[in-house]
Amino acid sequence: MTALRQWLQDPSPASRRQARLGQMWLAWLRIRRNRLAMAGLVIVGTLLVVAALAPWIAPHDPLAQDLTRRLLPPLTPGNLLGTDDFGRDILSRIIYGARITLYIIGLVAVTAPVLGLLIGTVAGYFGGWVDATLMRLTDIFLAFPRLILALALVAVLGPGIGNAILAIALTAWPPYARVARAETLTVRNSDYIAAIRLQGASPARIIAGHVVPMCLPSVIIRVTLDMAGVILIAAGLGFLGLGVQPPLPEWGLMISSGRKYLFEQWWVATMPGLAIFVVSLGFNLLGDGLRDVLDPRSAAR
């Protein structure tokens, strides 16, 4: 173990692989020193574990209805967080809902920022009519209210969780494109880009290898800040009958179905709301820490 640590911390690594692993080790040390980032990592890690082990840790079937036990308050024996209007256990539904939430977040976080980065960096790097065309396209997407545009897309594609994710991703990319373009403009005329261009690099290599790493930190921050919004838009689509379909235990859907009882049976909407809150907070904290880790200049020596 100590030999491994020494190998990782070697100030003059012998090979590229050792250098890369050493960098990752340093990044891990940096994120571990950051308490808030660790808190975020613990929350996101818990979400992953809960989603993976849902069938084993959930006390009830999330779909099993029991109308004799409907709208029970929290801390009722057998139903820790109470039951909803069909007598389904809210805790079990939240645990199973973690899977759906993770699925939506994961797919949106992979597709929208990648699309935004691509469009933003290409527009910023080439400038001229490429920039004008891509940015006007971005403006058109930005001009629509997000939920309405997602609604229109789902209406065309047909309801369902897959199409909902696609619609969210297609409406979420414009801010990333904006951020990436702004960063690209500050980087584009720097000497190190001129130097690599002079080495004969193709635009694709320059954008992917030299421009994107400079845009990543700000995009990652935006992604983590947007995660709460993504969950809520998915919920909104579900509420309108165009996203996740009942009786699937999606957190946003649970909130909208608890809306009717908000004043008398507050827990029906509050518990999944708390779950969204905690997960969003976790992503935000983690994103903040990741930004520090991604910047090697912030390494304390």
Partner 1 sequence: MSLIEVENLSVTFRAKGREVRAVEGVSLTVAARESYGLVGESGSGKSTILRAICGMAPVTGGRIRIGGQVLPTPRGRAFSAQVQMVFQDPYASLHPRHTIDRTLSEPLAIHGVAGSDARVVQALTDVGLPPSFRFRYPHQLSGGQRQRVAIARALMLQPAILLLDEPTSALDASVQAEVLNLLDGLRRDRGLTFLMVSHDLAVIDHMCDRLLVMQHGRAVEELARDDLAAARMATPYARSLFAASADRMLEPAGGATE
Total binding residues toward partner 1, as defined by CB under 8 A? 27
User: Looking at 4, 5, 9, 19, which residue binds partner 1 (CB under 8 A)?
Assistant: 19
Q: In angstroms, what is the minimal distance from the CB of 121 to partner 1?
A: 14
Is residue 205 involved in binding partner 1 (CB under 8 A)? yes
64 lies in the site for partner 1, by CB under 8 A: no
**Cα–Cα distance for residue pair 46/36, rounded to 1 Å:** 15
Smallest distance from the beta carbon of 67 to partner 1, in angstroms? 59
Shortest distance in whole angstroms from residue 78 CB to partner 1: 54
Region binding partner 1 by CB under 8 A among candidate stretches 43-51, 80-88, 115-123, 186-194: 186-194
Cβ distance to partner 1 smaller for residue 61 or 295: 295
Q: Does 126 bind partner 1 (CB under 8 A)?
A: no
Q: Is 195 in the site for partner 1 (CB under 8 A)?
A: yes
Chosen residue from 30, 88, 210, 222 binding partner 1 by CB under 8 A: 210
Q: For residue 62, count CB atoms less than 10 angstroms from its CB and return exposed for 0-12, middle for 13-18, buried for 19 or more.
A: buried
Stretch that binds partner 1, among 157-165, 174-182, 205-213, 274-282 (CB under 8 A): 205-213
Residue 200 binding partner 1, by CB under 8 A: yes
Q: Which of 45, 213, 241, 247 binds partner 1 (CB under 8 A)?
A: 213
297 near partner 1, rule: CB under 8 A:
yes
Site membership for partner 1, residue 24 (CB under 8 A): no
Q: Does 17 bind partner 1 (CB under 8 A)?
A: no
Instruction: Compare residues 213 and 241 and give the one whose CB is closer to partner 1.
Output: 213
Residue of the chain from 162, 209, 241, 247 that contacts partner 1 (CB under 8 A): 209
Query: DSSP characters for the chain?
Result: -HHHHHHHH-SS-SSHHHHHHHHHHHHHHHHHH-HHHHHHHHHHHHHHHHHHTHHHH-SS-TT---GGGTTPPTTBTTBTT-B-TT--BHHHHHHHHHHHHHHHHHHHHHHHHHHHHHHHHHHHHH-HHHHHHHHHHHHHHHHS-HHHHHHHHHHHH-SSHHHHHHHHHHHHHHHHHHHHHHHHHHHHTSHHHHHHHHTT--HHHHIIIIIHHHHHHHHHHHHHHHHHHHHHHHHHHHHTTSSSPTTS--HHHHHHHHGGGTTTSTHHHHHHHHHHHHHHHHHHHHHHHHHHHH-GGG---
Interface residue list for partner 1 (CB under 8 A):
11-13, 16, 19, 22, 190-192, 194-202, 205, 209-210, 213-214, 295-297, 301
